[in-house]
Chains A and B, each alone.
Chain A
Amino acid sequence: TQLLEQSPQFLSIQEGENLTVYCNSSSVFSSLQWYRQEPGEGPVLLVTVVTGGEVKKLKRLTFQFGDARKDSSLHITAAQPGDTGLYLCAGAEGPGGTSYGKLTFGQGTILTVHP
C-alpha cells in the first residue's frame, strides 16, 4: 500500500510570510498532483508534476517533484489571506501498478494566512 506523508498538518502564518509544505513517500509515483480545497467545497487541481526534478510555478506558488519521484514540495511566497485553505498532495501510480487509475492522497495541510 502506498502512503503519502504530508507535513505540516497545520500552518498559521501572517500575510507576507513564506511557507513550504512537504509530501513524502517511500514509493515512486508516475505523477504527483497538488489540490486546494476551500471550506465546504471540493478539491480543485492546482498542478501536476510528472518528471523527476520538475519545477512548476503558478504565480506565487512553486511546486517541485523530487528527483526520485518519491516526494514533492509546495512553496508559497508572500502568502495572502486568499491562500487560506486545505492543500492536498496526491500521487498516481504508473501502468502495471496495483493502484493504477487511482490516487493516493496525503492527509492535507490546513493553511491559515492572517491579514
Chain B
Amino acid sequence: DVKVTQSSRYLVKRTGEKVFLECVQDMDHENMFWYRQDPGLGLRLIYFSYDVKMKEKGDIPEGYSVSREKKERFSLILESASTNQTSMYLCASSFWASSRYNEQFFGPGTRLTVL
C-alpha cells in the first residue's frame, strides 16, 4: 500500500516563526502536492512538484515556499507564520504516468495553529 507520512499531526507555532512541514512517500511517485484545507473552502493547492528540484505554484502560494531535494520528500516552508495560516495541511503524491487520472494518495494531515 502507498504510504504518505507527515512529520507532525499537530503543531502550534507563534506569529513570525519559520515553520517546516515535512512529507515523505514510499511509492516512488514523481508528483507531490501540498494543500491546505479550510471549512467552506475545500482543498486549495499551495504547491506542486513533478520531479526533484522542480516546483510549480498552485492557487495560493503566497507566504509559502517548498523544497524537493529527494524524490520521496517534499517540504512546505512558512517563512514567517501568520495567524491566517492556521489550517489543516495535507500532502499528497501520485505517479506522473497516471496524470490523466491523477489518483492522489494523501497523508494524515498536519493541523497547524499559529498564535
Is B31 an interface residue when CB atoms closer than 8 A count as contact?
yes
* Residue contact B100 to A31, C-beta cutoff 8 Å: yes
Evaluate whether A107 and B99 lie within 8 angstroms (CB atoms) in the complex, with A40-B109, A101-B50 already known: no
Q: Which residues of A contact B64 (CB under 8 A)?
A: none
Residue B90 is within 8 A (CB to CB) of chain A in the complex: yes
Chain A, residues 98-112, CB within 8 Å of chain B (1/0): the string is 001111011110000
Q: What number of A residues sit within 8 Å (CB to CB) of B?
A: 25
Tally of contacts, chain A with chain B, CB under 8 A: 64
Interface residues in A83-115 by Cβ distance below 8 A to B read 88, 90, 92, 94-95, 100-103, 105-108
A42 to B28, CA, bound (A): 20
Q: How far is the CB of A48 from chain B (nearest CB, A)?
A: 5
Q: Which B residues touch A40, using CB under 8 A?
A: 9, 108-109, 111
Q: Contacts A41-B109, A42-B108 given; indicate if A107 touches B100 (C-beta within 8 A).
A: no
A residues near B, CB below 8 A? 30-31, 33, 35, 40-45, 48, 50, 88, 90, 92, 94-95, 100-103, 105-108
